[in-house]
Amino acid sequence: MSQQTWDAVDAYFSEALVGHDPALEAARAAADEAGLPPIAVAPNQGKLLHLLALTQGARRILEVGTLGGYSAIWLARALPADGELITLEIDPTHAGVARGNLARAGLDKIAEVRLGRAADSLAALVESGAEPFDLVFIDADKPSNPEYFTWALKLTRPGSLIIVDNVVRGGAVADADSTDPATVGTRRLHELIAAEPRVSGTSIQTVGTKGYDGFTLVRVQH
């Protein structure tokens, strides 16, 4: 199948099951206007995150990698009125766009964008004794995936979900000889998951407007 077909199918599903959403469309437009890279999750993928958070009954969500706040809007909308989403972003421009988008979506009271290196922000959350998160979405620099996963384990509880995006690397994840840092980091992530008795996980390949990719879903067991 061609990319054109994948795009058409994604467009059909998004129109049928997501529909017109002014806040999400404004978030994409603001990100484009600010020159952010067009790498946010697709609408149907954003809704999957939303449904997973709802199914989880999440009250606290942690996101690693904010970009323009598109996925943060989807996740924050799954929270109750007294819920909390903390999203981590290293780029000041990205963080500013995300804050504006979350505010326009009416979510700035429950969603906080923290600026800085994600590893530093994660360490600070652990050191402060942060209450465990019910769901963690990791979608940042791929070489650091093993580190982010290790921190996520410290910030979750039995029953929490950890979702890692962009794990297929166009198929390169199957190449044990790859020297690409993103692929090496993603393979190391899966080695950690496989060796960690406290979790159970699986990875799913996807196609669509984001090309050939996939995500890893992990449940903290105990």
Tens-place pLDDT, residues 161-175 = 999 999 999 999 999
Q: Are 152 and 171 in contact (CB under 8 A)?
A: no
Beta-ladder partners of 108: none
Q: Which pLDDT tens digit goes with each residue over 24-58?
A: 999 999 999 999 999 999 999 999 999 999 999 99
Q: What distance in Å separates the CA atoms of residue 82 and residue 60, rounded to the nearest whole number? A: 9
* pLDDT for residue 107: 98
**Mean pLDDT confidence for 202-209:** 96
* pLDDT for residue 95: 98
- The model carries a pTM of 0.96
Residue 94 has pLDDT above 80, yes or no: yes
Mean model confidence pLDDT for the chain: 97
Q: Are 63 and 75 in contact (CB under 8 A)?
A: yes
Provide the strand spans (E) within the chain.
Answer: 60-64, 84-89, 111-115, 133-138, 156-165, 199-208, 211-220
Residue 222 has pLDDT above 90, yes or no: no
Give the residue from 18, 17, 79 showing the smallest Cα distance to 54: 79
* pLDDT for residue 133: 98
**Mean pLDDT confidence for 194-221:** 96
Q: Are 91 and 100 in contact (CB under 8 A)?
A: no
Q: Which pLDDT tens digit goes with each residue over 126-151?
A: 999 999 999 999 999 999 999 999 99
Q: Calculate the alpha carbon distances from 204 to 12, 171, 199 in Å.
A: 21, 12, 17
Q: Are 187 and 175 in contact (CB under 8 A)?
A: no
* pLDDT for residue 96: 98
